[in-house]
Amino acid sequence: MARPAEVIVAGGFGFHVRADALARMGMVPRTWHDRVTYAGNSSIAGATRALLDRGQRRLADAIARHVETIDLAAHPEFQERFIRALEFPAS
């Protein structure tokens, strides 16, 4: 897996979980903990941009037209994999 330049954590979750804890929980690989940055409440920022900037609103509409919904529950292995993924790795 390629190492990203940055791992962005958005929302209230990021205000309460440190990067080393994300790595210990297995949410990011341990070697990426130094790349974690926090975006804060990005949903409010995005909604504000969409309301105030027609260009941003058009961009959001264009992106939305390319979104594909995938019904994970219909995948035969989803339930088993999901349950296994709920277990945090040993520290």
* 29 part of a folded domain: yes
Task: Record the tokens describing residue 41, joined without a space.
Answer: 């409440």
Which pLDDT value is given to residue 2? 64
pLDDT for residue 65: 94
Q: Determine, yes or no, domain membership for 69.
A: yes
Q: Is residue 90 in some structural domain?
A: no
How does pLDDT run across 7-24, given as a tens digit for each residue?
888 887 777 888 888 888
Range of the domain at 68: 7-85
Unique residue bearing structure tokens 């804060």: 40
Give the residue carrying structure tokens 């309460």: 16
In a domain, 71, yes or no: yes
Task: Return the pLDDT at 54.
Answer: 95
Give the total number of structural domains in the chain. 1
User: Residue 24: left (phi > 0), alpha (psi -120 to 50), or beta?
Assistant: alpha
pLDDT in tens, 33-90: 889 988 888 888 889 998 999 999 999 999 999 999 888 889 888 888 888 878 776 6
Residue 61 falls inside a structural domain: yes
> Is 60 exceeded by the pLDDT of residue 1?
no
